Amino acid sequence: MHATAMETAPFLNRCDRVRKYVGGDFVFRGGLFGEIRIALAQSGMGPKPARLATQALIDGHSPGWIISAGFSGALQPDMKVGDIVVGNAIVDEGGAELAIDLKMAPDPAKGLYVGRLLTVDRMIRTVAEKKSLGESRTAIAVDMESLAVAQVCQSAKTRFMAVRVISDDLSADLPPEILSVVGSTGTVRLGAAVGALFKRPGSFKDMWRLRDQGMGAAERLAKFLEGVIAQLCPPQD
């Protein structure tokens, strides 16, 4: 499960016989990672589409595992763009929490963090709000989909993991234009982008920097997913 195409593009490049089809509001892709059959559902951003796409994925493919994979924002100061975050619990702002039975040791020196993820229904843009959420929810990273995916998996008794990569850290606020320029599918709204550039020429440089960060983070996520999927689906004798 992922929200946008950019998040999983490098991983799909490692797969063979990839096929794509559209079902309703969602994009599904399937292929082979070595001998392991995989299916990916691109939901768009936010809890509601993530919940619906997860159910569609379960109904259509009956997967043994579902991984909520994609970008997240750092909520702790030591985390850097490209660090991997694996959830051992997921919480929302309303207090709902779901624990994940996970035995994985963190290794911050190598950019691997294990801890509580926070799922929200909006993009968190400022460093101040990220710090506040990290403290109030005792969470290490924030995304917009993982809890919804986990709840559907729990109801369906499907095994679940949340594997995220930091795409924005606490070094600077995200540019204000991101709220209007980036659509729910993660694609850039051309008209909004032109308008933002007209109002603030420096927005182009900021958005291009975020694009580069995202591409690098997605590559790091792909490398980590290689090992995770190989462990979750060992070859059969």
Ramachandran sector of residue 157 (left: φ over 0; alpha: ψ -120 to 50; beta: rest):
left
Instruction: Say which CATH number the domain at 82 has.
Output: 3.40.50.1580
Candidate from 19-28, 103-112, 140-149, 179-188 with smallest mean pLDDT: 179-188
pTM, two decimals, is 0.87
184 pLDDT above the threshold of 90: no
Q: Kindly state the tokens that stand for 215.
A: 């591409």
Q: What is the pLDDT of residues 52-80, one digit of tens each?
A: 999 999 998 999 999 999 999 999 999 99
**Does residue 120 belong to any structural domain of this protein?**
yes
Q: What is the pLDDT of residues 11-24, one digit of tens each?
A: 999 999 999 989 88
Residues 6+ apart with CB under 8 A from 166: 71, 72, 73, 74, 79, 80, 81, 82, 83, 84, 85, 141, 217
User: What is the residue range of 166's domain?
Assistant: 5-232
Could you give the number of structural domains in the chain?
Answer: 1
Helix or strand (DSSP H, E) at 141: strand 141-143
Cβ atoms < 10 Å from Cβ of 77: 12
**Does residue 237 belong to any structural domain of this protein?**
no
